[in-house]
Amino acid sequence: MVGGRGRLRCLSCFFFPLSTGLLLGVCLHSVEASGGNRVINKKVGDSVELSPNVSPEGITDVHWKYGSTVVAYKETGVPKNNPFQDRLEFNKNNFSLTLRNLKIQDSGDFIFTSDLGDKQRPAIIITLKVYEAVTTKPILTSKVLHSTVNGSCTVLLDCNLTSDINVSYSVTVGNQTHRVSSLQYTIRPEDGATTFTCRVSNPVSEMPAFKTVTCKPASDKGSDSSRVVFFVHLFIGFLVVVLLVLLLYYSKSKGTCWNRDKQLETANQDQHEQQVYSSLSHGDACVYETLRGSEDAGEPPHENASPPTNQD
């Protein structure tokens, strides 16, 4: 009997602290739940209603604070010198606050305090976080490094957002998600086309970008290089042919022009000689003597030279 009572005392010593701890945990959980502390995420330009979720019965006084500044009273409502510039409304029936056209600087703690009779109730804290919406797709770049050892490919991914808003990055391939903006991943030719997804996000929005990469065997890589070299050589050969044709055409055109000039020069000489002999045939001997004298004697003909007399 004594041993049985001892065992009972030991069991009671074990279960009593355990039950007390459980009850204390339940009580603390109830207090936290009744306090209604929570976080609300919104984006710029939205409206938000901050509700304390309390029954108005028996409440004698109410205050809303934004940080340390009182922004609403139960009796008088929203003061004129509040920091939200006519964007804030107070509902006297359910004690909720409505804030319109949210801005980044509106983020902060809104604290609701109330009195039930002559007793102050626990404060309710609502944390408002305002974010800019992600409207631009991230830039996802990739570089593929081929391995000559086992034929695999190492994909180097980099995800970047051009705007400077605060976002989180993640890269997903298959069923794996990595909370990073840069990733090094190995794929093989038998994997086929592998799609990588980069997401930039914040609690109110996200924007994805996609990139599909294929690991080609080394032979395919070599054949692609051969094709490139072939087309480069073909292009160079085409240019050489075009240059040769242009050079030949230019040379032919130049020769044709030279022959035409030579023919014109010869024709002019013939015409000149015909005119000289034509003059001689009409008895214009001075012309012949003038031409012959200038050529044979090397002296210019005398201006007063008289025509030769006929001795006959």
Tell me, what's the pLDDT at 244? 87
Measured between alpha carbons, how far is 96 from 80 in angstroms, rounded to an integer?
Answer: 18
Q: Is residue 304 part of a domain?
A: no
Do 121 and 147 fall within a single domain?
no
Do 107 and 144 fall within a single domain?
no
Q: Is residue 121 part of a domain?
A: yes
304 forms bridges with which residues in the sheet?
none
The answer to whether the pTM exceeds 0.75 is no
Measured between alpha carbons, how far is 63 from 304 in angstroms, rounded to an integer?
Answer: 137
Q: Is residue 119 part of a domain?
A: yes
3 state SS of 15: helix
Tell me, what's the pLDDT at 260? 63
Measured between alpha carbons, how far is 95 from 6 in angstroms, rounded to an integer?
Answer: 58
Beta-carbon contacts of 280 under 8 Å, excluding residues fewer than 6 positions away, are 287, 288
Give yes or no for a contact between 158 and 182, defined as CB atoms under 8 angstroms apart. Answer: yes
Q: Is residue 209 part of a domain?
A: yes
DSSP H/E element including 52: none
Do 39 and 125 fall within a single domain?
yes
Q: Is residue 249 part of a domain?
A: no
Q: Is residue 15 part of a domain?
A: no
Give me the CATH number covering residue 100. 2.60.40.10
Do 158 and 194 fall within a single domain?
yes
Tell me, what's the pLDDT at 245? 87
Domain final residue pick, 216, 251, 273: 216
Q: Where does 36-94 have alpha helices with state H?
A: none
Q: Is residue 116 part of a domain?
A: yes
Domain final residue pick, 76, 102, 131: 131
29's tokens? 């959980």
The predicted-structure confidence for 67-120, as pLDDT tens digits, reads as follows 999 999 998 999 988 999 889 999 999 999 999 999 999 999 999 999 988 899
Domains contained in the chain, number: 2
Give yes or no for a contact between 89 and 78, defined as CB atoms under 8 angstroms apart. Answer: yes
DSSP H/E element including 8: helix 2-35
Tell me, what's the pLDDT at 270? 56
Domain that holds residue 48: 34-131
Q: What angle do CA 301, 303, 309 make, to 5 degrees?
A: 80
Which of 188, 208, 210 is CA-nearest to residue 199?
Answer: 208
Do 119 and 184 fall within a single domain?
no
Q: Is residue 155 part of a domain?
A: yes
Beta-carbon contacts of 82 under 8 Å, excluding residues fewer than 6 positions away, are 66, 69, 71, 88
Domain final residue pick, 104, 131, 158: 131
The DSSP code sequence of 26-40 is HHHHHHHHHHT-EEE
Residue numbers of the chain with a pLDDT score lower than 50: 1-35, 221, 276-281, 284-299, 301-305, 309-312
